[in-house]
Every structure is written in C-alpha cells, then in structure tokens.
Structure 1
Amino acid sequence: MEDVDSKTVLYVEDDPPYVLLLKRALQRSKLEKLPKLWVVTTMEDAVRYLLGQIPYEDRFTNPLPSLLLRDLRLPRKSGIQLVQSVQAQLQFQHLPIVILTGTALDEDIVLAYQQGVNFCLVKPADVDSLISIILVLSVYSIPSPTKATI
C-alpha cells in the first residue's frame, strides 16, 4: 500500500544520465520520506500523466504530483509549451513548477517566469549541488529533511 504522506514529483527529462543523477541526489538528501519520482521524457507524456490519460489513468499507481520538475529543452516541444499546457488546466494552476536547465538564455528565463514557473534553476553537474536544490525544494513541496544528529 502506498504511503499517503509521500509526495509525488513528476520529472520531465530526456537525459537518462541526469535522471540517474537526480535519483542519486534524492537518495543522499536525507529526506525523511523520499517523494515518489515519476519520470517522463516528453511533454506529451507529461500532459497524459497529469490528465490521467492512458497509460496513467490509475491514480493509485500514478498519483497527482505535488511538484512538476522539468527540463526547459524537451524533444519536439519546448518546456515553455508544457508550462502553458499545465497552466491552461484549472486543476493545475497552483501546481508548483520548477525548471532545471542546462542552458538557458535570459529571454527563456523571463518567458518561463511570465508563464507561471515558480523557479528556474541551472542544472548542477554534481550530486552535492543537486542535493542543495532538493533540500530547498523540500521546504516548498516535498517532505522535509530529517533532523541532523550530533
């Protein structure tokens, strides 16, 4: 049975090594309860997941996310188009959206914020920097880290 206190993060990323890096950072983050991480590689799959369309129609197995984490550059369609699709759905207008991008032009970042993105961050290349981002985001939408022991 799924832990009802567990949060779900929908991660839209087409770079498998970076998905692995994020998973590694989550494991090392010392969060009390790790979020359930769902990874899709395209905007179309992200929209299908959010709307509960095939193959994501079972909400017990594929719960609604508490955070949408995504790359700015996606195959076929941009990450900005994904934000626009999500924001167009009334039930997702308050879904926190965070962009992790390897390369972002200033105008892309401005447009992302204009479209309703909560944070736009440059992808760190190392696990420790990514852990720092995860811990900051945990305050925002995923379970908080455990207390440090002395």
Structure 2
Amino acid sequence: MNDKSILLVEDNPDDAALTVHALETNNIGNRLVLARDGVEALDYLFCTGTHTGRDPDDHPSVVLLDLKLPKIDGLEVLRRIRATESTRLQPVVILTSSNEDEDRIKGYALGANSYVRKPVDFDDFVRAAGQLGLYWLLLNQTPPRGN
C-alpha cells in the first residue's frame, strides 16, 4: 500500500467524484483524503476538530485545493498553511474552475506551488489529473520535514 496521501479539498460532490475517478483511471492508488470545506481541510492539516489525534507528522504529499469553498475559502486555507511552521512547505496545487487573473495572482502570492484550471471536458480532466498525480507524487522532490 502506498503511504503517500493526497488531500483533496473540494465541496462539489461531482467534482470530487470526477477527481477520484481520474486518479484511479491513471492508476494513482494513493490514499485520498477528502475535505469538503476549508474548516475540514485545516482541521485535517493541523490535527484539530474531528481530526484531533491524527498523527501530525503524516503530511499529505500534495494538497489539491479548490478556491470556492464554504466556511473558509481556498485562498484563506492557503494563507493559513503558509503562515504555520509545520505546514509552510506543504505542496499545494490550486485546482479550480476559476480562470480569473486575480485568483491566480493571489494564489501564487500566497505561496501556491501550482495553479491548475479544471478542464471542462471529461477526457481532458482525466489526462490533467493523471499528469498532476505523476508529477506531484512521483517526480516532485519535497524538502525534508523537521521533527
């Protein structure tokens, strides 16, 4: 079993199911954790709320972060990730339907590692998810984590 996990932060059930299907289609069998809003994502990353007791050293290999989220939006989630020592180096890919220049600029300014617009076409989305998975899980080299 692959112990590298992916944290998918996505409130739209159809987009979440499509992402799961796309990863499976590309034989990316990493453990997938789904957070349906910004609060749940932060609770998972910081081991608080419903995730109290989770191993704080078990960092996801990558966070796939939507921007338009309930409770706390994706840009605020990213800001909090970068503002905290234990997560500031966490790879975060913004995966969103937004094609707004302002969202891209803010995302990169807050420290996103990548900004990927969700393709509308199903086959294009499957290909994009496969490329994301291959790059962030197999090719990307992350810095060592401090204890």
- State the TM-score, normalizing by the size of structure 2: 0.83
**Is this contact kept in 2: 1:7–1:143, CA < 8 A?**
no
Aligned to 2:142: none
CA distance in 1, matches of 2:21, 2:6: 15
CA-based RMSD of the aligned residues comes to: 2.0
Match of 1:68 among 63, 67, 87: 63
Aligned counterpart, 2:99? 104
Per-residue CA shift, 1:43-94, capped at 9, x if unaligned? 111111001113213436xx42111111111113321111001001111111
Amino acid at match of 2:54: R
Question: Match for residue 20 of structure 2?
Answer: 23
Please list, as runs of the form range in 1=range in 2, the aligned pairs for 1:1-150 lying within 5 A after superposition: 3=1, 5-31=2-28, 34-59=29-54, 63-143=58-138
Distance 1:127 1:6 in 2: 28
Contact map agreement 1:35 1:143 (CA 8 A) in 2:
no
2:9–2:66 Cα contact (<8 Å) kept: yes
Higher relative contact order (CA 8 A, sep 6+): 1
1:18 is displaced (CA, Å) by 0.6
Whether the 8 Å CA contact 2:7–2:32 is kept in 1: the answer is yes
- In the alignment, structure 1 segments of 5+ residues that lack a partner are 145-150
Percent identity between matched residues is 29
**Do 1:6 and 1:143's aligned partners in 2 also have CA atoms closer than 8 Å?**
no
TM-score, normalised relative to structure 1: 0.82
Deviation above 3 Å: which 4+ runs of structure 1? none
